[in-house]
Every structure is written in structure tokens, then in C-alpha cells.
Chain A
Amino acid sequence: EPEVTQTPSHQVTQMGQEVILRCVPISNHLYFYWYRQILGQKVEFLVSFYNNEISEKSEIFDDQFSVERPDGSNFTLKIRSTKLEDSAMYFCASSVREQGAYNSPLHFGNGTRLTVT
């Protein structure tokens, strides 16, 4: 069964550094997402992306965050200047139709654990 793949599985970075998290969504999916889970907290929505633009974003997704689909297969999340509170597990997901639609579950990757020191 096709999978969403994320790299790296672990990333350690220093505060203030830029970090790029990478994802390869399932090939026939059209919608792409980033969610994150701070240790001990709920999984939270960050952003959704469709047709090369952001379709929805949360209040967490401020100017420090950006997303890009640089080619036909990759989907990236960039954090410009990392803070300690950005430490979390970041999940990429993709779906055939928009999230919330019946019969359109999200398929998640295994996540990238980001540690900001």
C-alpha cells in the first residue's frame, strides 16, 4: 500500500536556525497537510495545501513557517528561525479530497521528531 514518507526521522537543531522538514505524499493525492504533536499534548493542525497554495492554516502557522511543493513529489515545511517551543513531532499527511470530506481520510507519515536546543 502506498505510504507517506518523511525525512529525516529525527532532527536536532539549535535555536534560531532554519530547518526544513521533508515529505513525499502519496502520488495520486491532491491535498497535503502538516500537523504537529508537542510531547504530552494533542495533535494540532498547522496547514493545508492544495493546487500550489495554502488552503487553510491555524494560528500556530505564523510568519516563521512556510510550505512549499518544489517539484511534483516533495512537500516541505520550513521553520525560519526555530524556537525551543517548536520542539515537537511533525506529521505530514495527504488525501485524495479535502480533509473533512466523507471518504477522504488523511494518510499520515511516521513523523519527524524535531528537537530545538
Chain B
Amino acid sequence: AQSVTQLDSHVSVSEGTPVLLRCNYSSSYSPSLFWYVQHPNKGLQLLLKYTSAATLVKGINGFEAEFKKSETSFHLTKPSAHMSDAAEYFCVVSDITGRRALTFGSGTRLQVQP
């Protein structure tokens, strides 16, 4: 069975400082991993996806994530937070050979202080 654990429900950073949102996954097979962002009253927007071609994945808006199989982690980072980054972030796992439906983490709410 696959599962996702987002280690922090809330993260607060100052504008211009680095962002780290932590995610650990469990999957019986080779997983597909994604990060989605949800701004207030908006849908779920894809930030980035892990495709197995490279362990360091770059996404939109300056975000990136590193797939570490040995640690079963897929943490999301950004060097410098912007006010517009304030949103809810979801780590998501799926598996083409197992249960294909996306399994969402519980989300991390990112606050950016001026």
C-alpha cells in the first residue's frame, strides 16, 4: 500500500528566506511523485513531478524537490520565499503497477511573513 506523510502541517518563513516542506512516502513499487499547490479558493496546480530521469526535479515558480530513495523522501525546497508562495502544498504519490489512484498527503500550509 502506498502512503504519504507530510511532516509539518504549518510552516512559517520570512520573505526572502529558504523554504523546506518535508514529505516521506511509502510505496511497494516504483512511485510517481508530485507536489501540488492550492491557493485559496483555487484548484490544485501541479508544481513539479518526479519522472525517474533525474533525482533533482525543478518545477514552476522556483521550486524544486529531490527524490531520495534511500530515505523515501521527496522534500520541496525554494531558495527564497515570496509572499505569493503562501498556500497549501500537497505531496502526492501514485504507482502505475500498484494502486494507481493518487494518494495525497495531509498538506502543509505555508505562511510567508513580510
How long is the Cα–Cα vector from A42 to B41 in the complex, in angstroms?
16
Instruction: Kindly state whether residue A8 has any CB partner on chain B within 8 Å.
Output: no
A residues within 8 A CB of B42? 110
Q: Which of B43, B44, B100 contacts A100 (CB 8 A)?
A: B100
B1 CB-CB contact with A under 8 Å? no
Residues in B whose Cβ lies below 8 Å from that of A58 = 101
Closest to B94 in A: A100
Contacts of B34 in A (CB 8 A): 105
Judged by DSSP, the binding face of A is loop
Are B96 and A102 in contact, CB atoms less than 8 angstroms apart? Answer: yes
B46 is contacted by which of A42, A48, A100, A107 (Cβ under 8 Å)?
A: A107
* Residue A18 at the chain B interface, CB threshold 8 Å: no
> Is there contact, CB below 8 Å, between B43 and A110?
yes
* Chain B residue, CB-CB nearest to A107: B46
Known: A43-B44, A103-B51. A98 touches B96 (CB 8 A): yes
Residues in B with CB closer than 8 Å to A39 are none
Give the distance in Å from the alpha carbon of A45 to the alpha carbon of B95 in the complex: 14
Which of chain B's residues have a CB closer than 8 A to the CB of A111?
A: 43
Q: Residues of B contacting A44 with CB < 8 Å?
A: 104
Cα A32 to Cα B45 in complex, Å, equals: 16
In the complex, A104→B45 CA distance in Å?
14
Complex contact A4–B43 (CB within 8 A): yes
What is the interface of chain B, defined by CB distance below 8 A to chain A?
A: 32, 34, 36, 41-46, 49, 51-52, 90, 94-98, 100-107
